[in-house]
Homo-oligomer: A and B are copies of this chain.
Amino acid sequence: MIEARHLRVLRAVSTTGSFSAAARELGCTQPAVSQQMKALESSAGTPLLIRTGREMRLTEAGEALVRHASGILAGLTAAEEEVAAIAGLRAGRVRLVSFPSGSSTLVPGALAALRAAHPGTQVSLVEAEPPRSVEMLRDGDCDIALAFRYGTTGGEWDDLVVRPLLTDRLIGLVPEGHRLAGAAAVGIGELADEPWIAGCPRCRRQLVEVCEASGFTPRIDFATDDYPAVIGLVGAGLGVAVLPALAIESVRPKGARTVTVEPAVEREIVALTLPDLARVPAVAATLDQLSRVAAR
């Protein structure tokens, strides 16, 4: 087995013309070069160098090796350079999956900061709701999954790296002319008889749980993943809703008014990744930018 290190030394010997000069160039001692060349000749099975008194010449086999060495060492340095670019964030690809309200708020700021700090990185963004996004993460189809959970249930993600980003309060949304439109805080029970407009399946389940804890079952007339649509429906006076603050932040609630809802319900928004991926520079940098944007 010929080693690349030996080829590097052989090339240095070939260009400098002496063991000592090659050793100086390589930053080691002359016997080290001498021994490496002996080892290389041993593994080659034939002499590679001709030691005459005056100069150091290559044999035919030595010339063949030097000829190949350039390509091999070039390939090695190219590989090292590419890996170093990824490790040094001059390159690197991050595949991000986010739920809709995250991708419209947290993600743009984080990606802008990432791009500014490390122009070579490339990020792709796909939208998916938590159960599916975590599955994609485990299947290797993405590197970071933005997800959320209501309360720290725990247990479902303990094989993942969970980076908490922020906690998101649920905010009530009522039509502008509604009797509770100006209230400082509204008990959820006061909305027991209203028609409801629900969000995504998880949010809907959470809504039902909270309402049932308050003693009623909400009458859900509409359910849609599309938060602007929810707001539009509320604004049209078709019902009330509770939405994560994050979902409202990026939308101007036209015709609807926000009210604080009691009891306070929070959802925790986290970034998920695999333990090994968390150590990939581009992934770590993206996580950091997400944390930074979330801290605002």
Give residues in A with beta carbon < 8 Å to B: 1-5, 7, 44-47, 49-53, 57, 59-61, 64-65, 68-69, 71-72, 75-76, 78-80, 82-84, 86-88, 92-93, 138, 140, 159, 274, 276-277, 279-282
Contact = CB atoms under 8 A, between A and B. Distances in A.
A126 to B, nearest CB: 17
Contact of A61 (B3, B47, B86): B86
Contact of A46 (B59, B78, B279): B279
Given A2-B80, A4-B4, A59-B280, A274 B72 contact: no
B75 A45 contact: no
Contact of A280 (B61, B84, B274, B277): B61
Given A72-B75, A76-B4, A280-B46, A140 B65 contact: no
Contact of A75 (B53, B68, B277, B280): B68
Nearest to A72: B75
Contacts of A46: 83, 86-87, 279-281
24 contacts: A2-B79, A3-B5, A4-B76, A44-B83, A44-B87, A46-B87, A46-B279, A46-B281, A47-B277, A47-B279, A50-B140, A50-B274, A51-B276, A52-B138, A52-B140, A53-B159, A59-B280, A60-B280, A61-B82, A61-B87, A64-B82, A65-B79, A68-B76, A72-B75
B83 A75 contact: no
Nearest to A78: B68
Nearest to A58: B140
Given A5-B1, A64-B79, A72-B79, A140 B92 contact: no
Contact of A276 (B50, B84, B92, B282): B50
Contacts of A2: 76, 79-80, 83
Contacts of A279: 46-47
Contacts of A276: 47, 49-51, 59
A258 to B, nearest CB: 42
A60 B92 contact: yes
Contacts of A72: 4, 72, 75-76, 79
A140 B3 CA distance: 28
Contact of A86 (B5, B64, B71): B64
Given A53-B159, A65-B79, 12 more contacts: A2-B83, A3-B5, A46-B86, A46-B281, A50-B274, A52-B274, A59-B277, A68-B76, A68-B78, A68-B82, A71-B75, A72-B75
